[in-house]
Chain A
Amino acid sequence: MTSDDFHLIERAQHGDTDAGAALFDRYYPNVFRYALSQVGDPVLAEDIAGETFVRMVERIDSFTDQGRPLLAWLFTVARNLAKDHYRESAGVLEMTLNETLIGGVSNPERVLERRLTQERLVAALSQITDAQRRVILLRFIDGLDLKSVARIVQKPVTAVKSLQHRGLAALRRVLEEKDS
Chain B
Amino acid sequence: MKEQKISHALEECLALLEREEATLDECLARYPRHAAELRPLLFIAQETRRVSLPSPNPAATARWRQRVVNTLAAQESSHRTAAPHSHLLARLGVRFQTILRQMPRAAALAALSALLLVVGLGLYLLVGTPTVRAATLTDVQGTVEILSAGSGAWLPISAGQQVMPGDRIRVGQSSGATLTFPNGSTTALESGTDMDLMQIRPRWYSQDGWDVILRQRAGRTTNCLRCPASEAYRFEVRTQIATVVARSTRFSVSITQDGATDVAVAEGTVAVTALKTTLWLEAGQMTSIRPEKPLAPILPIPISTQEPTATPVPTLEVEEIESPEPSESPASIEIEDDEDDEEHETPEPTEVDEEDDHEEHETPKPTEVDEEDDHEEHETPQSTEVDEEDEEHETPKPTKTEEHDERHAPTPTPGSEADD
CB of B26 within 8 Å of the partner chain:
no
Question: Shortest distance in angstroms between A107's beta carbon and chain B's nearest beta carbon?
Answer: 13
Are the CB atoms of A103 and B396 closer together than 8 Å? no
Known A-B contacts A54-B67, A68-B410, A69-B412; A39 and B396 likewise in contact (beta carbons under 8 Å): yes
Are the CB atoms of A158 and B366 closer together than 8 Å? yes
Are the CB atoms of B362 and A172 closer together than 8 Å? no
* Contact with A132, one of B213, B274, B392 (Cβ below 8 angstroms): B392
With a CB–CB cut-off of 8 A, which chain B residues contact A109? none
Cα separation A155 to B368 with both chains bound (whole Å)? 13
Q: Chain B: which residue is nearest A119 at the CB level? A: B276
CB of B401 within 8 Å of the partner chain:
yes
Q: Chain A: which residue is nearest B278 at the CB level? A: A42
Are the CB atoms of B409 and A46 closer together than 8 Å? no
Question: Shortest distance in angstroms between A13's beta carbon and chain B's nearest beta carbon?
Answer: 9
Are the CB atoms of B276 and A100 closer together than 8 Å? yes
Question: Shortest distance in angstroms between B210's beta carbon and chain A's nearest beta carbon?
Answer: 12
* Contact with B11, one of A57, A85, A146, A171 (Cβ below 8 angstroms): A146
Most B Cβ at <10 Å: residue of A44, A76, A121, A163? A76
Cα separation A146 to B64 with both chains bound (whole Å)? 31
Are the CB atoms of B65 and A127 closer together than 8 Å? no
Question: Shortest distance in angstroms between B289's beta carbon and chain A's nearest beta carbon?
Answer: 12
Are the CB atoms of B204 and A89 closer together than 8 Å? yes
Are the CB atoms of B60 and A121 closer together than 8 Å? no
Are the CB atoms of B401 and A83 closer together than 8 Å? yes
Q: Which of B263-277 contact A (CB under 8 A)?
A: 271, 273-277
CB of B394 within 8 Å of the partner chain:
yes
Cβ proximity bits B389-411 to A, threshold 8 Å, 1 near / 0 not: 11011111111010001100111
Q: Which of A51-92 contact B (CB under 8 A)?
A: 51, 53-60, 62-70, 72-73, 76-77, 79-92
Cα separation A104 to B48 with both chains bound (whole Å)? 21
* Contact with B385, one of A66, A68, A84, A127 (Cβ below 8 angstroms): A127
Q: Which of A154-172 contact B (CB under 8 A)?
A: 154-156, 158-159, 161-166, 168-172
CB of B372 within 8 Å of the partner chain:
yes
Are the CB atoms of A38 and B369 closer together than 8 Å? no
Are the CB atoms of A81 and B398 closer together than 8 Å? no
Are the CB atoms of A68 and B397 closer together than 8 Å? no
Cα separation A122 to B48 with both chains bound (whole Å)? 10
Are the CB atoms of A60 and B72 closer together than 8 Å? yes
CB of B335 within 8 Å of the partner chain:
no
Cα separation A49 to B234 with both chains bound (whole Å)? 15
Cβ proximity bits B345-389 to A, threshold 8 Å, 1 near / 0 not: 110000001111001001000100110110011000010110101
With a CB–CB cut-off of 8 A, which chain B residues contact A121? 47-48, 51, 53
CB of B217 within 8 Å of the partner chain:
no
Known A-B contacts A64-B413, A166-B389; A92 and B277 likewise in contact (beta carbons under 8 Å): no
CB of B337 within 8 Å of the partner chain:
yes
Dominant secondary structure at the A interface? helix
Are the CB atoms of B51 and A118 closer together than 8 Å? yes
CB of B110 within 8 Å of the partner chain:
no
Are the CB atoms of B401 and A87 closer together than 8 Å? yes
With a CB–CB cut-off of 8 A, which chain A residues contact B337? 84
CB of B40 within 8 Å of the partner chain:
yes
Cα separation A33 to B55 with both chains bound (whole Å)? 7
Cα separation A41 to B228 with both chains bound (whole Å)? 23
Are the CB atoms of B43 and A112 closer together than 8 Å? yes
Question: Shortest distance in angstroms between B364's beta carbon and chain A's nearest beta carbon?
Answer: 8
CB of B222 within 8 Å of the partner chain:
no
* Contact with A130, one of B3, B75, B231, B392 (Cβ below 8 angstroms): B392
Known A-B contacts A58-B330, A89-B398, A118-B51; A63 and B56 likewise in contact (beta carbons under 8 Å): no
* Contact with A162, one of B72, B355, B372, B399 (Cβ below 8 angstroms): B372
Known A-B contacts A58-B330, A73-B410, A77-B345; A24 and B40 likewise in contact (beta carbons under 8 Å): no
Are the CB atoms of A161 and B10 closer together than 8 Å? yes
Question: Shortest distance in angstroms between A103's beta carbon and chain B's nearest beta carbon?
Answer: 6
Are the CB atoms of B10 and A168 closer together than 8 Å? yes
CB of B334 within 8 Å of the partner chain:
yes
Which 8 residue pairs across A and B have the least CB separation, nearest first? A129-B392, A50-B64, A15-B76, A116-B47, A80-B344, A86-B398, A88-B204, A165-B7
Q: List 14 A-B contacts (CB under 8 A).
A: A20-B69, A36-B54, A39-B396, A43-B234, A47-B234, A64-B417, A73-B411, A76-B409, A119-B277, A126-B395, A159-B372, A170-B387, A171-B48, A174-B384
Residues of A near any B CB (own CB < 8 A): 1, 9, 12, 14-15, 17, 20-21, 24-25, 28-29, 32-33, 36-39, 41-47, 49-51, 53-60, 62-70, 72-73, 76-77, 79-92, 94, 96-97, 99-101, 103, 111-112, 115-119, 121-123, 126-132, 136-137, 140-141, 143, 146, 153-156, 158-159, 161-166, 168-175, 177
Residues of B near any A CB (own CB < 8 A): 3-4, 6-8, 10-11, 14, 40-41, 43-45, 47-57, 60-61, 63-65, 67-69, 71-73, 75-76, 79, 198-199, 201, 204-206, 211, 213, 231, 234, 236, 238, 243, 245, 271, 273-278, 330, 333-334, 337, 340-341, 344-346, 353-356, 359, 362, 366, 369-370, 372-373, 376-377, 382, 384-385, 387, 389-390, 392-399, 401, 405-406, 409-418, 420
Known: A68-B411, A80-B341, A130-B376. 15 other contacts (CB 8 A): A15-B76, A17-B72, A42-B57, A55-B345, A58-B71, A62-B420, A73-B409, A76-B409, A84-B205, A118-B52, A128-B385, A140-B48, A155-B372, A159-B362, A161-B8
